[in-house]
Amino acid sequence: MNSKPKPRRESPLILFRFVLAVGIAVALTPLAARADVTLGIGGAPGFGKYRDIDGSAAHGGRPAPIVDLDVRAGLLELHGESIPYQATPYYGDPFNPSTARLSTYAATLRAYDRGTRLAFGIGYGAILVTTYRNEPAGTLASEARGVRLELHHRTPISAHTTFELSLGSEPDLHGAIRTTLGIEGAAVLTDTIAGARFDASALAVVGATRSLSFAYGVRYANTTLRFARSNALVVRDAEILPFAEVRVHL
């Protein structure tokens, strides 16, 4: 009997949990006196187009949560960011539609230049995309990871407002796609994938109190994943996400 398989555990979540744990640990130790720890939680409607093996869909303004964490001490900053869940509308065959779920995670160590407020960052990024099929029941789970490179700039524009601009990329993503049928005993088919991701954001951070601020801005993200052997498309996602965040200074 066909049944929808359980989604595979998202291991890159461990990466973001590690960054979050570091931030909390710093906030609860004497190092907090020398470090600035900020946790941001917000949301963003996505506008753009998603495409995979089963077809394509417009995001259509569906909301997605955003989590950011910054731990800064002197000219160094540990930055973590994630859009842990983003779902697409149904697409493909109208009589047997599919839907997809996207998750992105990244952790970057930034080093600031004292004079220009410009930071160069290097870290690690991951993207997971799971396509759910109805009949025959099954999933296509793509997971790719790679080194992340980043430029980040902060410009104070008033006593309580800062403008931030970020450019980031995982230019050489590698991973695997796993096809699972909702049939007991069916084999899981695995193939290698490769690709790249580029993102950019511009935002204003407005301080309300010493421990609370608000961020407003826009993000752009473009991801392409392909089969490593045939170069056939696995996933392409391009979208703009206007967003708002509440940031708590721990």
Domain ranges of the chain: 13-249
Separation of alpha carbons 109 and 171, rounded Å: 17
Separation of alpha carbons 174 and 136, rounded Å: 28
Q: Torsion-angle region of residue 107: left (phi > 0), alpha (psi -120 to 50) or beta? A: beta
**Nearest C-alpha neighbor of 52 from the set 239, 237, 250:** 237
For residue 24, what pLDDT is reported? 55
For residue 36, what pLDDT is reported? 84
For residue 187, what pLDDT is reported? 74
What one-character DSSP code corresponds to residue 23?
A: H
Superfamily of domain 13-249 in the CATH hierarchy: OMPT-like (2.40.128.90)
For residue 7, what pLDDT is reported? 42
Peptide bond into 171 cis (omega under 30): no
Q: Is the pLDDT of residue 113 over 90?
A: no
For residue 106, what pLDDT is reported? 92
Q: Is the pLDDT of residue 143 over 80?
A: yes
Q: Is the pLDDT of residue 172 over 90?
A: yes
For residue 176, what pLDDT is reported? 95
| Number of Cβ atoms within 10 Å of the Cβ of 212 | 11
Q: Torsion-angle region of residue 30: left (phi > 0), alpha (psi -120 to 50) or beta? A: alpha
For residue 29 the two structure tokens come to: 């130790």
Top-confidence range, 4-13, 22-31, 86-95, 161-170? 161-170
Q: What are phi and psi of 227, to 5 degrees?
A: -65, 135
For residue 2, what pLDDT is reported? 42
For residue 150 the two structure tokens come to: 């980043």
For residue 119, what pLDDT is reported? 94
Q: Is the pLDDT of residue 199 over 70?
A: yes
Look at the pTM and tell me if it is higher than 0.85: no
For residue 169 the two structure tokens come to: 């990329």
For residue 206 the two structure tokens come to: 């407005």
The residue type at 69: L
If one compares 10 and 65, the residue with the highest pLDDT of the two is 65
Which whole number is the average pLDDT over 89-114? 89
Do the beta carbons of residue 41 and residue 66 sit within 8 Å?
Answer: yes
Which whole number is the average pLDDT over 99-127? 90
For residue 142, what pLDDT is reported? 93
Which whole number is the average pLDDT over 8-35? 53
What one-character DSSP code corresponds to residue 18?
A: H
Do the beta carbons of residue 216 and residue 208 sit within 8 Å?
Answer: no
Q: Is the pLDDT of residue 79 over 70?
A: yes
CA 173 to chain centre: 14
Query: pLDDT band at residue 9, thresholds of 50, 70 and 90?
Result: very low
Which whole number is the average pLDDT over 96-117? 89
Q: Is the pLDDT of residue 92 over 90?
A: no
**For the CA atoms of the chain, what is the radius of gyration?**
19
Separation of alpha carbons 185 and 195, rounded Å: 31
Separation of alpha carbons 57 and 81, rounded Å: 25
What one-character DSSP code corresponds to residue 185?
A: T
Query: pLDDT band at residue 5, thresholds of 50, 70 and 90?
Result: very low
Which whole number is the average pLDDT over 78-96? 89
Query: pLDDT band at residue 18, thresholds of 50, 70 and 90?
Result: low
